[in-house]
Amino acid sequence: MTTAGARGRGRRRGAPDTRGQILEAARESFAHRGFTGTTIRSVATAAGVDPALVHHYFGAKDDLFLAALAIPVDPRQIVPTVFAEGVEGSADRLLRLFLSVWDDPERRLPLVALVRGSLGEDGPVNLLRDGILRLVFGPLREVLPPEEADRRTALVASQMVGLVVARYLLPLEPLASMRDDDLVAWVAPNLQRYLTGPLP
Amino acid sequence: MTTAGARGRGRRRGAPDTRGQILEAARESFAHRGFTGTTIRSVATAAGVDPALVHHYFGAKDDLFLAALAIPVDPRQIVPTVFAEGVEGSADRLLRLFLSVWDDPERRLPLVALVRGSLGEDGPVNLLRDGILRLVFGPLREVLPPEEADRRTALVASQMVGLVVARYLLPLEPLASMRDDDLVAWVAPNLQRYLTGPLP
């Protein structure tokens, strides 16, 4: 009776549950050990549960990463839609998808935290590189000619990361308050050149 | 005698001198209060000296900023050389100047510290925006048509900040190890379009 009562009160007050403990341990590990330094096993150990339970609740490490950092969209689901009609002309769609996520203050919040946590002094830069950028740009790499895919993808990433910093983190005017259509008209042709322009 | 002796020993051991105390107070202030929150007067107060002495040693606030953060070059001196022959064709020169500074590990070190300190959680982002970017891109703004200068400058900044993050901070391959000539061939045309391309 007493135990059940205590548990009941605890739950109403938001006492830690297993799923929450795993998420907390994962957040902690990603923030301090980065993406590559975090494993399902190490998170399970920190949360005091079996690795199988982490898999059961969250799937693979990429899924745990997205859940733990509260990433508002799954890049593996939405980015491929941009390239469904081919890479030619896709920069416009890629940029509009990017803006639809980043221009939304609520969706932007966890992304800003991820970028700033990763780029700060002593921050795990691989959280940005091997965590989110790999998930965002993986689908792009797959639709490009293999021998050019890495270079073109990294160049696209450089411009988009620069937009993140200049438009949302600094923020740098007039880039920060530029309307989407203007921004797309300025930036998409440059992205498209990185994607499909002739090799220089 | 005793005092003079103590002072002599202290100097050999690197005891704080006035100039060093001012620099230390300035570093502290820029790191915690950012560029806009730091004044010659507040640095003087923190260092326990007269503001006139700060001016005497370091000149204006921009000079103190460059000295305190050990910025390896004065953008006000070198950036205008890029545009001396006009903006047309200047992207190539701008990018090569950028690479000559950032590809040098010793010159890169304080710049990386500045960027990471500024972009990190709770970091003063205005250190990057109002401190270094203003000094770097001020000379560019002056040579562009006034009604387009801010937009074009901010777009150029977005690509160059993106290169800083992708090539030097993450670092993202193959961008990080791409030879200068390759990088210039890929990126300069995009920068040039931001500089002088037709309005979209």
pLDDT digits (tens, 9 = 90+) for B97-146: 999 999 999 999 999 999 999 999 889 999 999 999 999 999 999 999 99
Rg (CA), chain B: 20
Rounded Cα gap, residues A165 and A175, in angstroms: 11
Rounded Cα gap, residues A175 and B139, in angstroms: 19
CATH code for B2-68?
1.10.10.60
Tell me the average pLDDT of chain B.
Answer: 92
Per-residue pLDDT, averaged over B63-85, amounts to 96
The alpha carbon of residue A43 is apart from the nearest alpha carbon of chain B, in Å, by 24
Q: B193 and A194 in contact by Cβ < 8 A? A: no
Closest A-chain CA to B178: A151
The alpha carbon of residue A111 is apart from the nearest alpha carbon of chain B, in Å, by 12
The model carries a pTM of 0.91
Q: How confident is the model at residue B16 (pLDDT cuts 50, 70, 90)?
A: low
Does residue A15 have a pLDDT over 90?
no
* % of chain A exceeding 70 in pLDDT: 92
Does residue B164 have a pLDDT over 60?
yes
Q: What is the pLDDT of residue B12?
A: 42
Per-residue pLDDT, averaged over A177-200, amounts to 98
* Inter-chain Cβ pairs, chain A and chain B, closer than 8 A: 137
Spell out which residues of chain B touch residue A129, defining contact as CB-CB under 8 Å. Answer: 170-172
Does residue A8 have a pLDDT over 90?
no
Q: What is the pLDDT of residue A183?
A: 98
ipTM score of complex: 0.90
Does residue B5 have a pLDDT over 60?
no
Q: Where are the domains of chain B?
A: 2-68, 75-196
Residues 65-124 of B with CB under 8 A from A: 113, 115-117, 119-121, 123
Does residue A25 have a pLDDT over 80?
yes
Q: Which residue has the higher pLDDT, B89 or B11?
A: B89
Q: B162 and A167 in contact by Cβ < 8 A? A: no
Instruction: List the alpha helices (DSSP H) in chain A.
Output: 2-12, 18-33, 40-47, 51-58, 61-68, 75-82, 90-102, 105-119, 126, 134-143, 146-163, 180-196
Closest B-chain CA to A189: B190
Rounded Cα gap, residues B47 and B16, in angstroms: 11
pLDDT digits (tens, 9 = 90+) for B45-54: 999 999 999 9
Closest B-chain CA to A173: B154
* Residue with the two structure tokens 């932007």: A108
CATH code for A75-196?
1.10.357.10
Number of Cβ within 10 Å of residue A148's Cβ equals 12
